[in-house]
Amino acid sequence: MAEPTFFEALRWASIFLEQRQQEDAGRFLLLERQNWTSTQLLLRYREPMPAAIWHQFQADVQRFAKNEPAQYIVGHAPFYGHEFKVTTATLIPRSETEELVEWALNELPATPLKILDLGTGSGAIAVSLKLARPQWQVWASDISAAALTVAADNAHDLGAAINFRQSDVFTNLAVEKFDAIISNPPYIAPSERDVMDASVLAHEPATALFAAEAGLAIYRRILTGLPQHLTTNGQFFGEFGYHQRPALAKMVAELLPANRVKFRRDLAGHERMLQIKL
């Protein structure tokens, strides 16, 4: 097909991906690659697609057909109203984590606070919090130096002043205390590999996905360290797997019996978040 219209190119992508039993990501790939809104694309529907854009679009669609996530193909992903650079060193930010950020912003006071995003990855949580609450002092930690490089790039590009620290959970944060800690830690059990999306397994970093102890080994380390790293009346917000609530509630009761815990459902109705108040 020589220089199709934008409409024809999207139609080609839809058929091409359907034949390979893949979801239709053509529209997302085109919008994100060109940095257009849906309206901007609609106004160009009947225009011939320039050759350079057509060649790039075909290459992007073919990469997606081979199970490469669309966000890695275009190099960025939307999160909480901002665009974040993503690489295979970081997880792709998900909408469920936006709900965690929203919950924390609604629960925490707008006064100056010291906040930690534990396991920051792309920096999506930390940067979003800082942009929403400029008066907060926001820290971000991760075990991965490569992820921290991506997070630092995002903080710079979006104008967010973040304190970064390479750390395996609290290992290199020994003397630091925070008013709130927010985390989307690894929580998938290795036994769940067989039911996971092939594109996730092939491209997203395993260290940010999987944890021993049925997915709760990192949570055990976090919960154990909260009394030492939260200030008086400090709060913790965390994301977990949709089926882990009973085991996680038992772990919280075991490790932090005198503290208040609340679980919250995501928009899909699954219990996916918790809040702990010391």
What is the per-residue pLDDT across 104-126, written as a single tens digit (0 to 9) for each? 999 999 999 999 999 999 999 99
Q: Is 259 annotated as a binding residue?
A: no
Query: Are the CB atoms for 276 and 235 separated by under 8 Å?
Result: yes
Confidence of residue 77 (pLDDT cuts 50, 70, 90): very high
The verdict on 58 and 107 lying in the same domain is no
The verdict on 52 and 96 lying in the same domain is no
Q: Specify the CATH number for the domain of residue 259.
A: 3.40.50.150
Domain range spanning residue 15? Answer: 6-66
The verdict on 18 and 53 lying in the same domain is yes
Q: pLDDT tens-digit profile of 211-232?
A: 999 999 999 999 999 999 999 9
Report yes or no on 130 lying in a domain.
yes
Confidence of residue 1 (pLDDT cuts 50, 70, 90): low
Provide the 3-class DSSP secondary structure of residue 157. helix
Higher-pLDDT residue of 197, 276? 276
Report yes or no on 217 lying in a domain.
yes
Report yes or no on 1 lying in a domain.
no
Report yes or no on 72 lying in a domain.
no
| pLDDT higher than threshold 90 for residue 202 | no
Q: Is 207 annotated as a binding residue?
A: no
The verdict on 138 and 246 lying in the same domain is yes
pLDDT reported for residue 2: 74
The verdict on 107 and 161 lying in the same domain is yes
The verdict on 40 and 107 lying in the same domain is no
| pLDDT higher than threshold 80 for residue 193 | yes
Question: What average pLDDT does range 148-170 have in this prediction?
Answer: 98
Question: What average pLDDT does range 158-163 have in this prediction?
Answer: 98
The verdict on 145 and 226 lying in the same domain is yes
Report yes or no on 35 lying in a domain.
yes
Q: Is 121 annotated as a binding residue?
A: yes
Report yes or no on 83 lying in a domain.
no
The verdict on 17 and 105 lying in the same domain is no
pTM of the entire predicted model: 0.93
Question: What average pLDDT does range 139-161 have in this prediction?
Answer: 98
The verdict on 102 and 25 lying in the same domain is no
Mean pLDDT of the chain: 96
> Within a 10 A sphere around the Cβ of 146, how many other Cβ atoms?
13
Higher-pLDDT residue of 193, 256? 256
Confidence of residue 196 (pLDDT cuts 50, 70, 90): confident
% of the chain with per-residue pLDDT over 70: 100
Q: Is 97 annotated as a binding residue?
A: no
Q: Is 142 annotated as a binding residue?
A: yes
The verdict on 60 and 97 lying in the same domain is no
Q: 5-13 contacts: CB < 8 A, separation 24 or more?
A: 5/45, 5/46, 5/47, 5/48, 5/49, 6/30, 6/41, 6/44, 6/45, 6/46, 6/47, 6/49, 7/45, 7/46, 8/49, 9/49, 9/54, 9/57, 13/57, 13/61
The verdict on 156 and 241 lying in the same domain is yes
CA triplet 241, 244, 247: central angle to 5 degrees?
155
The verdict on 192 and 137 lying in the same domain is yes
Q: Is 185 annotated as a binding residue?
A: yes
Report yes or no on 55 lying in a domain.
yes
- Rounded CA-CA distance 204/84 in Å is 15
Report yes or no on 81 lying in a domain.
no
Number of structural domains found in the chain: 2
Q: pLDDT tens-digit profile of 34-54?
A: 999 999 999 999 999 999 999
Q: pLDDT tens-digit profile of 9-24?
A: 999 999 999 999 999 9
pLDDT reported for residue 195: 81
